[in-house]
Amino acid sequence: MAQVVVVTSGKGGVGKTTSTAALGAALAQDGDKVVVIDFDVGLRNLDLVLGAERRVVFDLINVIHGVAKLPQALIRDKRLENLQLLPTSQTRDKDALTEDGVAKVIEELREKFDWIICDSPAGIERGATMAMRYADSAIIVTNPEVSSVRDADRIVGLLDSKTAKAERGERVDKHLLITRYNPSQAARGEMLSIDDMLEILSIPLLGIVPESREVLRASNVGSPVTLNNALSAPARAYFDAARRLKGKEIPVHVPHEGTGIFNKLFGRKAA
Amino acid sequence: MSFFTFFRRGSALVARERLQILLAHERAASSHPDLLGILREEILAVIGRHVAFEPDKVLIKMDRGKFVSTLAVDIEIPNDHGASAAKSPHGRLTLGLEHADGVPAMNQSVV
């Protein structure tokens, strides 16, 4: 039974696209059939983060408007045969998304995939509401920072009112994914703690992705971090998050400062 | 949490408190979208049914405080008692509304 998951946040730049790519790849690496859909019409980037930017011919908007058939628009990842991308248009705007069109595309994808992961644009307008419209569950990506947490709370409100599931009187399952977590800042009390965020938002925790240079390295070369450096801290966090998404009970590992002698002596002062 | 952290809670504590207050407000506002705005419209409609007033002589003030929100409606009503017109050409109806914990309390005065 296919699961439709929206990766959303409200605020921009918190790591929605990075997380969509990393989680989609992690699920595909585990053997599941995954399609990731870019809903950021006009500002697509999921293709770039996945290294497929030169292979886009048709897109979601073409499929919705009947210009292309769905299989023509799907791009199979060159490294993971279980992972496919449905890119969006770079030239149209978000009004090109119609509710019926999106519904049809998602219904068709449900036949072929285990996971349909919708990468939402920032904001709370049409692109974002279309991305969450048919979701069974939502991953709310949040940084430990006040504006990001506030916007996450707004998005929770939308998930509870504007989704097809909410309108049927059901609930969209929500998962909190904390990204760009900096253990040393948290230890100094300069960054909202995990407990603070869970208490404020009251959404179950899917994972904590530490701030890491590996994330930038992976996007530089167009590869999800779980593929580019599977042993890195962010990749391990995404693998665990993907397993939790599949219902496995794995204790959440809160990234902490290194325990080496250098950190013991100087860690508190280091930025 | 280490000994160090316990004695030197940084700015995260401020962030948490600010967020808790803000979100409590925003959640209440989204469950009652613009409650004070709706009240304002309806109060004006009720008064308009009984008393003629000019829309541009209506002063509306809304304040959202930390725990209490206030709505003050000040309406200048033309006084059509011809005799006293020169001395006191207008009457004034003032309505005040305080809103805390979902229990509206009203007070009013007519001058």
Interface predicted TM-score of the whole assembly (ipTM), two decimals: 0.81
Asked if A50 and A23 touch (Cβ cutoff 8 Å), the reply is no
Say what the pTM is: 0.77
Q: Which residue has the tokens 């391990």?
A: A236
Per-residue pLDDT at A64: 96
How high is the mean pLDDT of chain A?
Answer: 93
| Chain B partners within 8 Å of A188 (Cβ) | 5, 8, 10
| Closest residue on chain A to B6 (Cα) | A189
Summarised one tens digit per residue, pLDDT across range B30-86 is: 766 666 777 778 888 888 888 888 877 888 777 766 677 777 888 888 776 544 444
Whether the predicted pLDDT of A21 surpasses 60? yes
How far is it, in rounded angstroms, from Cα A7 to Cα A136?
11
Output the six-digit token pair for B56.
């541009």
Summarised one tens digit per residue, pLDDT across range A180-211 is: 999 999 999 999 999 999 999 999 999 999 99
- H-helix or E-strand spanning residue B9: none
| Closest residue on chain A to B11 (Cα) | A190
Per-residue pLDDT at B86: 44
As a whole number of Å, the CA-based R_g of chain A is 18
Asked if A44 and A20 touch (Cβ cutoff 8 Å), the reply is no
How far is it, in rounded angstroms, from Cα A56 to Cα A263?
46
Q: Which residue has the tokens 């009457």?
A: B91
Whether the predicted pLDDT of A264 surpasses 80? no
Pick B12's closest partner by Cβ from A150, A157, A196. Answer: A196
User: Considering all CA atoms of chain A, what is the largest pairwise distance in Å, rounded to the nearest integer?
Assistant: 63
How far is it, in rounded angstroms, from Cα A246 to Cα A115?
10
Cβ distance of B12 and A153 shorter than 8 Å: no
Chain A and chain B share a number of CB contacts under 8 A equal to 46
Asked if B62 and B20 touch (Cβ cutoff 8 Å), the reply is no
The A34-38 sheet, strands edge to edge? A75-76, A83-86, A34-38, A115-119, A3-8, A137-142, A173-181, A205-210
Nearest to A115, CA basis, from A214, A7, A269, A200? A7
Q: Which residue has the tokens 């999106």?
A: A102
Summarised one tens digit per residue, pLDDT across range A27-79 is: 999 999 999 999 999 999 999 999 999 999 999 999 999 999 999 999 999 99
Asked if A184 and A257 touch (Cβ cutoff 8 Å), the reply is yes
Interior CA angle at A249 toward A117 and A241, to 5°?
35
| pLDDT level of residue A267 (50, 70, 90 thresholds) | very low
Output the six-digit token pair for A143.
């940084």
Whether the predicted pLDDT of A261 surpasses 90? no
Pick B10's closest partner by Cβ from A153, A157, A190. Answer: A190
Q: Tell me how long chain B is.
A: 111
Over the range A75-94, which residues count as b (16 or more CB within 10 Å of their CB) and which as e? bebeebebbbbbbbbbebeb
Whether the predicted pLDDT of B5 surpasses 70? no
Q: Which residues pair with A75 in a beta bridge?
A: A85
Residue B11 in contact with partner chain A when CB distance is under 8 A: yes
What contacts A141, CB < 8 A, 6 or more positions away?
A: A7, A8, A9, A14, A15, A16, A19, A177, A179
How far is it, in rounded angstroms, from Cα A67 to Cα A187?
54
Whole-number percent of chain A with pLDDT over 90: 90
Summarised one tens digit per residue, pLDDT across range A223-233 is: 999 999 999 99
Cβ distance of A196 and B16 shorter than 8 Å: yes
106-165 in chain A: CB under 8 A from chain B: 145-146, 149-150, 153-154, 157
Per-residue pLDDT at B98: 64
| A190: closest CA of chain B, how far (Å) | 5
| B25: closest CA of chain A, how far (Å) | 11
What contacts A253, CB < 8 A, 6 or more positions away?
A: A208, A237, A240
